[in-house]
């Protein structure tokens, strides 16, 4: 079944991987993000995969921007079957040292913009008595970690919003709200984050791929589920946070400083919280090795060793 899929936050990380995954199915795509140049790149990637694509540069925090995006989707394809919301930013730092304007913008993008998307999407879905809204949450919507207070607050809020919308959706058969909650993912968001902590952030191990999260999103369009957790340790962390809160609080600070931060020093900066950085946008963040490159490297080394052995034996 071919669907019309709107993806907000489509130029990087999970959003870009989702665009590629839906394009591979031949779905009709409406792609939105703040960076027009990168959005054009993703549009061409998806067209090359055979998908009809409309790219609409959009800042989801601006008044009426989400309504305008929906109107563009309806004008191009006549309806909206799925809306995938992935747009998010992060800011590292102690709560009292992160500028107020940065904290508020993180919450505005990560929570209030998601609410704006949900409001518009559900209005169209109710009118059609069908549709699936997929919200990108986080394991940090169930647990907490220091130095990410704005992101944690927003994701806890998004979790609550998603659950409330799921309860309301029981009154509208055919309309589904799915929460996809990843753990650590190999995306550029950590390098692109605002930082007032003095050390570069990174995803703590174990790290999953954005493509795996995207596959979970695609699966939700075929088999809608209330919540999908993507990450091998998500359940363990949630168990520790809930059942052993004293132990969790004792360990989470040292673990965050050791596993969630690099030794590389960084000066205070706003990252992409207010302005996109097209140069830093890609599917992967470089935290995991490119397995195809590893295979090629191993194959190359094998050929080199084999050649050397043959010369020696000859």
pLDDT of residue 156: 98
Q: Does 179 have pLDDT greater than 70?
A: yes
283-311: pLDDT as tens digits: 999 999 754 443 343 344 344 334 433 44
Mean pLDDT (whole number) for 58-73: 97
For residue 179, what are the β-bridge partners?
Answer: 135, 227
Tell me the pLDDT of the chain averaged across its residues.
Answer: 93
pTM over 0.85: yes
Integer Cα distance of 73 and 62 in angstroms? 18
pLDDT of residue 1: 83
pLDDT of residue 293: 41
Mean pLDDT (whole number) for 274-285: 97
pLDDT of residue 245: 97
- Which residue segments constitute the domains of the chain, with CATH numbers given? 4-283 (3.40.50.720)
pLDDT of residue 116: 98
């Amino acid at each position: 079944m071919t669907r019309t899929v709107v993806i907000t936050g489509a130029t990087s990380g999970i959003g870009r991987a989702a665009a590629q995954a839906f394009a591979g199915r031949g779905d009709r795509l409406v792609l939105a993000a703040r960076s027009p140049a990168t959005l054009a790149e993703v549009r061409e990637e998806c067209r090359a995969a055979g998908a009809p694509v409309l790219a609409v540069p959009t800042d989801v925090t601006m008044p009426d921007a989400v309504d305008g995006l929906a109107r563009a989707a309806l004008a191009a394809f006549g309806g909206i079957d799925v809306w995938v919301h992935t747009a998010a930013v992060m800011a590292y730092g102690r709560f009292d040292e992160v500028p107020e304007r940065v904290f508020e913008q993180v919450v505005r993008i990560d929570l209030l913009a998601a609410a704006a998307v949900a409001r518009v999407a559900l209005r169209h879905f109710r009118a059609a008595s069908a549709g699936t809204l997929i919200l990108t949450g986080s394991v940090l919507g169930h647990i907490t970690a220091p130095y990410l207070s704005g992101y944690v607050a927003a994701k806890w809020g998004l979790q609550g919003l998603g659950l409330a919308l799921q309860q309301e959706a029981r009154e509208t058969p055919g309309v589904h709200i799915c929460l996809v909650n990843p753990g650590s993912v190999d995306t550029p968001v950590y390098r692109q984050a605002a930082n007032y902590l003095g050390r570069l952030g990174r995803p703590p191990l174990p790290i999953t791929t954005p493509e795996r999260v995207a596959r979970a999103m695609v699966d939700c369009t075929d088999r809608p589920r209330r919540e999908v957790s993507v990450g091998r340790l998500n359940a363990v962390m949630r168990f520790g946070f809930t059942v052993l809160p004293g132990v969790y609080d004792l360990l989470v600070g040292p673990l965050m400083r050791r596993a969630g931060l690099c030794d590389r020093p960084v000066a205070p900066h706003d990252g992409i919280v207010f302005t996109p950085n097209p140069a830093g946008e890609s599917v992967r963040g470089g935290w995991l090795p490119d397995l195809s490159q590893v295979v090629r490297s191993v194959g190359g080394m094998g050929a080199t060793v084999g050649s050397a052995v043959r010369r020696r034996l000859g």
